[in-house]
Structure formats: C-alpha cells, structure tokens
Amino acid sequence: MSNLKNYSRRRFLAQSGLGLVAFAGMPGFLHAMEGMQGLHGMPKLTPNKASPNFKPDVEFNLSCESSSVSILPGQKTLVQKYSAKLIKGPENTITEIADSYLGPLINLQKGQKVRINLYNKLAEPTVTHWHGLHVPANMDGHPMYVIDPGQTLVYEFEVLNRAGMNIYHPHPHEATAKQVYNGLAGALFVHDDEEAALGLPSGDYEIPIVIQDRLFDEQNQLIYARNMHDRMTGFYGDRILVNGRPNFQIDVDSRAYRLRVLNGSTARIYKLGWDDGTPLTVIGVDGGLLEQPQVKPYVMLAPGERLDLWADFSGRNEGSQLVMRSLPFSGVLPKMAARMGGMMMHANTLPVGSDYPIFTARVTKKVSDSPKLPAQLSKINWHQISATANPEKPLPIGISEGPMAMLLNGRPYKFDDIQDIERIKVNTIQLMEISHAHGGGHGKEPAPASGEHGAEKQNGGMGGMGMMGGMKHGDDDQKGGGQGMMGMGHKGGMGMMGGMKHGDGDQKGGGQGMMGMGGGMGMMMTMAHPIHLHGQQFQIVSRSASANNEADYATVRDGFIENGLKDTVLVMPGETVRIIKPFQDFKGLFMYHCHNLEHEDMGMMRDFLVE
Ligand code: C2O
Ligand code: CU
Ligand code: CU
C-alpha cells in the first residue's frame, strides 16, 4: 500500500516535469515521508530522453523483464533478465547467450557513439550501470536515475575506454543485490585497435565465463537472503553457475583460447586454478590488457572483478579434460560467521574458501596449429605518485563493518551527503588509500586466534553487538525461515544468543546456545571487501597486510594482479591498499562502494562529487 502511494507520488513528480526543483521545494514533512518510503532523499528526476543532436553509431533497446528459464532439470526458474534488440550498428553488437538468464553479450568499439534505450518492464524501479565504462555522471546509472515500471531511460555516450570486459547491471538504491541475483547482469566488451593488432583468439576461441552462485528450492526457484546474517556476510548459494548454466562444460580444440572471466556473484570470492596445477596465464584484468602476460599459480576473483586468460590446450589429447576449480583459502569471512554459515546451512552448502569445481574444459579435437602468446600485449599509461594532486595526503576510503553499520568513511550511503574528502576536482589524478577503519562502533581488541569462544566469556564481553534469534540451521531455515536479528549493545565484545543449534560436538550444550566472544567485534567482524570505484580505472600502488592474519593471507597472496588497470580491488582483512585514480572529463556524482552487493545495499556505498 505504501509502495503504491510511493509510486504515484514519484510519478506525479516525474510527470509534472518539475523533477528536482519540485522536490527541493517540498515542505519538510514530505521530504521525511519520502525518506521513510525508502528514497533516502534521492530526487526523482524526469528520465533522460534521446537528444536530437546526438548521432549514434550504435543504438539498441535494452529491456529489464521478468522471465522464466530452464536452469535445473524439471521446473523452470523465475528470473529477471535483460534482453536487447539492435536498432543500428554492427550485427555483433548484441549476442544472446542461449538458454540463459544472463543478459546478451554487448560488443562495442572504442570511439563509437552509443545510444541505449532502457525499458523497465519489471514491477519495481531499476536503473542500469555500465560497470567499468568511463561515461558522464548522468549516464552512469547512479541510483538517482531509477525509472519506474513502464518508463524508459535513454543513455547516450561515446566509448572512451580501451579494450576490456565490463559489466552492465542494475543499481537501484538498496535493491542492487537482489536484482543482480534474480538474473539482471551481462558482459559488455569494448574492442580497440591495440587489441585487434594482437590477433588474440576470437570467435569460437574466445569464451565468456561469467561465474555466479545461486541457491534453489525444491521447485527450482531462487532463494535469496533470508536473514541479517546472510546480508552481513553476503549471500552465498550452493550451486555454481557459469553463463547461467550448472555443470558448465566447454568443448575445446587442442589450441589456445581466450577466456573472458567475470565474477558476477553478489558476494562469493573465488580462487581460480586448474585442477592439475597448470598455472594461469593472465593477459588482462578489469581495465583491459596487461602490458605483458603474467603467470600465476592461481588468481583471486572477487565480485565485480574480471580476468582475461590465455588458456592453451595445445598438446593435450583428445578426451582429456581440465577443470577450473576454486581452490582452498581462508580469511575472507569472519571466523565466527564462517562457522555459523556452516552450521546454519548444513552440508549442502559450498563454504567460501572450500575446494570445488567451477567448469570443465574437455578437449574434443586435436589440432596442430595454435596462435602464439604475444610477449607484449599493450601499453599502459601509468601515473606516478608525484603526478597526483595529493602525493602526501591520500584520500581515505575507510571500511567499517558490522551488523548495523556497513559504512565507508564512517558513514552509510546517503544522497547529497558529500564530505570534504569526497569532493574531487575534475581532471585531477588522486592518490587514495583503502583501509579498515573499524569505525563501525565495535570493539578493537583482537579476536582469540583460534576463533573458539566459550560461553563463560559471554558475561565478560558484554555484547558490543548482539545477535539473537532465528539462527536455526536445518531445512526450514533453508526455505526462508530463520529471521535473524541483531542488536548493538554497549562496551566491547559480542554476544550471540538463541537458537544456535550446532552438531558435530562443536559446542557442547547446543540447542538453545548462548555464545560469547571475549575478543570483541573488531577482528571478528573484519572480512574481505571488494571495493569498486565508478568511472576511470585505477592502478594499484601498494598493498600492505597486517601481521595478524599471516596464515590466512598466505592462502591468497599470490592471487592478486597488480600490474593492470582495475576498477574493483579485493581488500583483505587488515590490508591497506593504495591506488592512483584519474578523475578526468566528467563532473558529477560517481559512486564508490563495496561490490559485495549485500554490503552495498546495506549502505557500504558513498558518492564522490567531481566538480
Ligand atoms: Cu558494479 Cu556501482 O557497481
Ligand atoms: Cu561500477
Ligand atoms: Cu563489503
């Protein structure tokens, strides 16, 4: 009911053509009402229309709609999905992925002028963001540009990016994760002359690999976040899908391939490696090709990150196969949460950091010829720290995490809440430092190294945070039962109570468990966050890990790629990452946020105002 009111109120503003002006002039109580209805002070704008002066080289319609697809054997799954129709431009601009909820592959050329007509055929507001593209602020899919059901939003921009793999996905306030989870996402490739000159494997030999995890009920329907715990740690499915398919398999010739990998999961982090120990040959990351190929034993891939792999099956026999796995690692989730997750979801889950297959490459044809890996792939225009506007004073991005406080720089997302450190002069290059700020109102004492916690500590700890109720594990929890509730206490430490049944002699006296953490929330809640900045890609200057987490860090440290352009960087617990990022060409609001999409929706998101 209140939603309906909300829609009509917003539609009135849109139709009145007054948009922002009308909003700004509203009496205070109306502002308050809007805020309560979930708009968070976001203005309602009249959707952008096609401009007569813009002459597109490429134009297509992109619809967001409800649909059903066959994913698992048996019943179809209800999804939300992008579909596209080319109006003008090269035929390969849009390539559907057969039988998938994933949006079509979009192929653009650097320099093209592109018009995209976004149709909202959903029953809820949405907007699309071009993750990785350097476009004007009002074309970037900021949540303030959401359109209501039935509305159309026109995007017009020139492709300024170098060649690379980007993502398009929804970005409505507090509903990004759910819409992506329901299926709204796709890969967008930019091509340029530098890439073309290399003659890299293409056509049948270039394969997109979009990795996602999903949880299904017995009717093959998607289950999404059931409680606060799911949101706090991020939501994890127990089934890995590649390009929207389970048990994904590619049939390959015994030659080189180019695999364009994207982690499209809402929260799951992968440690990619071949099952036989063959190293990965990395030729590119988020912002396109590296300068030279780099060989890695494995690669960490967090939500939003991309990986360009040279996969050479030369010399392999017909019938042989190679499995891409996620290899074991630790330390990205709070120990406590990892244990709880396991307890809550039983044996059918796929714990983050466990060892499991992602897809199989099966050699079905022996051939004698294969392209050679170029020694030099591209030229990157690196910036020196001395060329930044603030070599001595990096702009901070401080991460604070907690059940009630997923923050960046100490603040949750709020529209029009720009702080001094969030104002950036256009056409500058900034040094930035991403670190764990522990400003979320929780204790700072280190957690017990073992991650064990005894009930006798409950009283000592005095609940800096409390977690209560509904942490039942077992089958009814799987179906959306268990409502978690979390509350903040005072002092330090953490308390967790109620309904924590656990087996395996984990904690004797299960049933109505009461658990206490003596160690405080500081370390306990510390987890890894893939931090994403909209706009131009950045370079990674340094990473420094804290000594606390050495054993965990050793399981991931060889999987980071620092010599490419990035727009999303995985920041491990205790880690401080320095980056250099240009803010060129466009003024306006550009977001930065955690690409654990549950965290983003909980408020771990802010705006930079480029002015
Ligand atoms: Cu991929 Cu602001 O997001
Ligand atoms: Cu983005
Ligand atoms: Cu996060």
Separation of CA 440 from chain center: 22
Distance CA 489, CA 473 (A): 25
Ligand 1 site, residue 131, Cβ cutoff 6 A: yes
Compute, in angstroms, the gap from residue 451 CA to the centroid of ligand 1: 33
The SS3 assignment for 312 reads: strand
**Nearest-angstrom CA–CA distance, 204 and 195:** 17
CA of residue 203 to ligand 1 center, whole Å:
28
Q: Where are the beta strands (DSSP E) in 233-338?
A: 239-242, 245-246, 248-253, 256-263, 270-274, 280-285, 288-296, 299-301, 306-312, 321-326
Which amino acid residue places its CA nearest to atom 3 of ligand 1? 131
Q: How far is CA 472 from the centre of its chain?
A: 28
At 457 the pLDDT is 31
Q: Is any ligand 1 atom within 6 A of the Cβ of residue 306?
A: no
Measured in degrees and rounded to the nearest 5, phi and psi for residue 207 equal: -125, 125
The pLDDT score that the predictor gives to residue 471 is 33
In the chain, the N- to C-terminal Cα span, in Å, equals: 40
Neighbours of ion ligand 2 (CB under 5 A): 131, 534
Q: Which ligand lies nearest the alpha carbon of 572?
A: 3
Output the CA 267–ligand 3 centroid distance in Å: 8
In angstroms, the CA 261 to CA 482 distance is: 35
Position 428, amino acid: T
Sign of torsion, CA 602 604 610 611?
positive
CA of 605, closest atom in ligand 1:
2
For the four alpha carbons of 249, 251, 254 and 259, in that order, the dihedral sign comes to: negative
Neighbours of 28 (CB within 10 A): 7
pLDDT at position 559 is 98
Q: Considering only CA atoms, which residue is closest to atom 1 of ligand 1?
A: 131
* Chain-centroid distance, C-alpha 376: 30
Work out which ligand 1 atom sits closest to the CA atom of 304: 1
Residue 337's pLDDT is what? 54
Interatomic CA distance for residues 120 and 139, integer angstroms = 16
| Residue 583 confidence (pLDDT) | 98
Nearest atom, ligand 1, residue 534 CA: 2
DSSP code of 294? E
Give CA angle at 117 (116, 121), nearest 5°. 135
For 202, the 3-state DSSP assignment is coil
CA distance 514 to 549: 27
**Which residues hold their Cβ within 5 A of ligand 3, which is an ion?**
529, 594, 596, 599
Determine the distance separating the centroid of ligand 1 and the alpha carbon of 595, expressed in angstroms: 7
Chain-centroid distance of CA 373 in Å reads: 30
State whether residue 285 is helix, strand or coil: strand
Give me the pLDDT at residue 229, please.
Answer: 84
Q: How far is ligand 2, taken at its centre, from the CA of residue 200, in Å?
A: 27
Q: What is the mean pLDDT of each run of 10 residues along the chain (611 residues)?
A: 35 34 33 43 90 98 98 98 98 96 98 98 98 98 97 98 98 97 98 98 98 97 90 94 98 98 98 98 98 98 98 97 98 70 53 97 96 98 98 97 86 95 98 82 34 30 32 33 32 32 31 32 70 98 87 96 97 96 98 98 97 97
Q: Which helix (H) or strand (E) holds 145?
A: none
